[in-house]
């Protein structure tokens, strides 16, 4: 039988491990940390100011899905047009089904848009034309920094 003080010590150690490993972070903080790390990796040679993007655009799909493949150049163009105002993230739900479950998707591709606090403000299923995404983002306070044409 375990003594009460030993049990309390074990519980305290487990709580310390959870907090120090990041399990206590909220969605917005985790997303911000991920965005900063991805920004460092993708823009190591550019002048990065580590701003948290105003919008995170999650594409939940698969690399083998035809409409998902059609979304790839759209996502690239949106990322170029809006710069550091937006973070564009692709999740292959066939390789990582947990992400699809987390967002409750039923159809791929599904686009989920989160504000800077991590709160979902819009969702779309299926192919989402670039022009419609631009309208949505501008309506939500982003500015097109440069117009990018999709190669066909």
What residues act catalytically?
A: 65, 68
Q: Which two tokens stand for residue 56?
A: 């995170």
| 31 backbone dihedrals φ, ψ, rounded to 5° | -65, -40
Q: Which two tokens stand for residue 138?
A: 């501008």
Question: What is the Cα Rg of the chain in Å?
Answer: 19
Strand, helix or coil for residue 21: helix
Indicate the Cα dihedral angle 140, 141, 146, 151, nearest 10°: -10
Q: Which strand ranges, in their side-by-side order, compose the sheet holding 120-125?
A: 86-92, 55-61, 110-115, 120-125
User: What single-letter DSSP state applies at residue 9?
Assistant: H
């Amino acid at each position: 039988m375990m003594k009460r003080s030993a049990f309390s010590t074990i519980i305290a150690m487990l709580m310390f491990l959870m907090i120090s490993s990041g399990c206590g972070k909220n969605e917005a903080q985790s997303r911000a940390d991920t965005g900063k790390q991805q920004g460092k990796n993708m823009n190591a040679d550019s002048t990065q100011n580590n701003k948290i993007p105003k919008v995170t655009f999650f594409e939940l799909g698969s690399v083998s899905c035809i409409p998902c493949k059609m979304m790839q150049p759209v996502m690239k163009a949106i990322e170029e047009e809006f710069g550091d105002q937006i973070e564009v993230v692709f999740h292959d739900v066939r390789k990582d089904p947990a992400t699809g479950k987390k967002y409750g998707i039923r159809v791929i591709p599904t686009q989920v848009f989160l504000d800077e606090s991590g709160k979902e403000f819009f969702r779309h299923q299926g192919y989402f034309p670039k022009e419609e995404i631009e309208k949505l983002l501008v309506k939500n306070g982003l500015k097109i920094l440069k117009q990018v044409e999709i190669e066909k």
